[in-house]
Amino acid sequence: SQQGEEDPQALSIQEGENATMNCSYKTSINNLQWYRQNSGRGLVHLILIRSNEREKHSGRLRVTLDTSKKSSSLLITASRAADTASYFCATDAIETSYDKVIFGPGTSLSVIP
Amino acid sequence: KAGVTQTPRYLIKTRGQQVTLSCSPISGHRSVSWYQQTPGQGLQFLFEYFSETQRNKGNFPGRFSGRQFSNSRSEMNVSTLELGDSALYLCASSPTSGRTYEQYFGPGTRLTVT
């Protein structure tokens, strides 16, 4: 199984609602990043949270990190149709000898206007 | 600053052929990583180059190779193409090597092997 796994796999909400996605990982990390990908295009970096941080904000995004539970959550507030995309968490497993970062399978978010 | 560019954007090849993909990182970025994205396997790390040297390598067969030039531009080559190589190939650049830097991704090259 993967180092990072997002939950749920798919999420459909109405515009204006909040969207919450979760990421669980297995090994210790230095940092965790969230990326967005619009329909098969390149990924866009959203936010990076370090292992000694518990919460971070960027605009309508709020990321939390719980290293004791090896999990992170991404909250998008007041969602917009333009937020429709796949969201990936990426971790740098400390024990990994060769991978730079490992991406989870992603959460597909659909925001209905 | 211009973003990461990848060429070509789309490519159709036949089994057994080889292909070369190109990636130009953001100006000043010295690290270039390559990823393969498929519906079944998701995003998988191929390799990373920094200052013309391969720094990290993922779990892919030797048919997948790459190189980086002195201007940090990178190429990825896949020889003896197989149907399973059909994927979106993404490259990402970052200012330096290491796991604590965010990566800037290009739009990808969509490779179809028939």
Q: Indicate yes or no: CB of A48 within 8 angstroms of CB of B102.
A: yes
pLDDT digits (tens, 9 = 90+) for A29-65: 888 999 999 987 889 999 999 999 999 999 999 999 9
Picking from A31, A40, A92, the nearest residue to B88 by CB comes out as A40
d(CA A99, nearest CA chain B) in Å: 6
Beta-carbon contacts below 8 Å between A and B = 57
Q: Is the pLDDT of residue B30 over 70?
A: yes
Contacts of B105 in chain A (CB under 8 A): 35, 42-45
Q: Indicate yes or no: CB of A100 within 8 angstroms of CB of B105.
A: no
A73-88 burial, b at 16+ Cβ within 10 Å, e below that, comes to bbebeebeeebbbbbb
Contacts of A106 in chain B (CB under 8 A): 42-43
Per-window interface: A 33-72 vs B, CB < 8 A: 33, 35, 40-45, 48, 50
Instruction: Give the nearest chain A residue to B106 (CA atoms).
Output: A42
d(CA B14, nearest CA chain A) in Å: 22
Q: Which of A54, A101, A61 is nearest to B43 (CA)?
A: A101
pLDDT digits (tens, 9 = 90+) for B39-74: 888 899 999 999 999 988 888 999 999 999 999 999
Q: Indicate yes or no: CB of A41 within 8 angstroms of CB of B107.
A: yes
- Measured CA to CA, the distance from residue B35 to residue B57 in angstroms comes to 11
Question: Predicted confidence band at A100 (pLDDT cuts at 50, 70, 90)?
Answer: low
Helices (H), chain B: none
- Measured CA to CA, the distance from residue B73 to residue B71 in angstroms comes to 6
